Amino acid sequence: MELFADITLYWVIGFVIAGFLAGYIDSIAGGGGMVQVPVLLLSGLSPLHVLASNKMAGLVGVLMATIKYALSKKISWKVVSIAIIPCLLASYIGSRLVMFVSDEIITWAIILAIPVAMIFLFKKSKKIVEEKTEVNNKNIILATAPIGFYDGLLGPGTGTYMTISMKKFLHLDYLVSTASTKPLNFATNVGSAIAFVFAGKVLWGVAIVLGLANIAGSYVGSHYAIKGGEEFIKKVLVFVLVFMLVGNIIKIVVS
């Protein structure tokens, strides 16, 4: 069982910072993986180890956010109860599939997913009025399961994508969409984690450090989710994403 591979103390400290930021951002606006995954890639870990360790860390972080939102009674349990199993299965399939993809393709796919998720992150800020329309099981599954598959396949931006999808196709308001995303994101992380654990791809030392940092960030971030802090988080997120995107591209070009 691998723990840290050849990771230095400086990178472990970097993981703590990235994990806290990821948990904080994820609990408010989604997209924490867009910070965590590029940092892991820059540390020199293989893309599969990155995806596996990121999933294990995200699992505990999103669990904390789920508990906080559940206590606030903002989660649509009707949507969650219908979508949770399809999301879990789709994520498992995505993670099994990615193990047959080359490291180069995974790296480039993650890098390309970052700017796409950034675009969706900005679109998220538009005010959406809740519509009192009935949603059926088919619409709920179609709005969530494909994103669960993406989460297992790559991951960064999943929370953002799923929140937008719930707003657009299920007509939930912003807060309910964000809250309901958390237990579904937890399910997709479980499905993905199962696949990676059985394949022996998790670096447990890295995952534990990131996971503890995720819990702390998620606990703090969920407190401010209703207090208008999203715009500030977006500015910080964009800065970090641009830096990490450039860093990863330079790394690929140099290597």
DSSP string, 21-44: HHHHHHHHTS-THHHHHHHHHHTT
Q: Which residue type, as a one-letter code, is found at position 193?
A: A
Of 184, 149, 183, 142, give the one whose Cα is nearest residue 165.
142
Q: Does some domain include residue 33?
A: yes
Note the pLDDT tens digit of each residue in 29-64.
677 777 888 888 888 888 889 999 998 998 898 998
CA atoms within 13 A on the CB side of 167: 20
CA distance 110 to 39: 12
Q: Does some domain include residue 143?
A: yes
Q: Does some domain include residue 30?
A: yes
Q: Does some domain include residue 56?
A: yes
Angle at 248 between CA 206 and CA 237, to 5 degrees: 75
What is the domain count for the chain?
Answer: 1
Q: 57 lies in which domain range?
A: 10-254
Note the pLDDT tens digit of each residue in 67-103.
988 988 889 999 999 999 999 999 999 999 998 988 8
Q: Does some domain include residue 115?
A: yes
**pLDDT cut 70: percent of the chain above it:** 78
Q: Does some domain include residue 3?
A: no
CA distance 140 to 98: 25
Q: Does some domain include residue 5?
A: no
Q: What is the pTM of this model?
A: 0.78
151 touches 91 (CB < 8 A): yes
Whats the size of the chain, residue-wise? 255
Q: Does some domain include residue 145?
A: yes
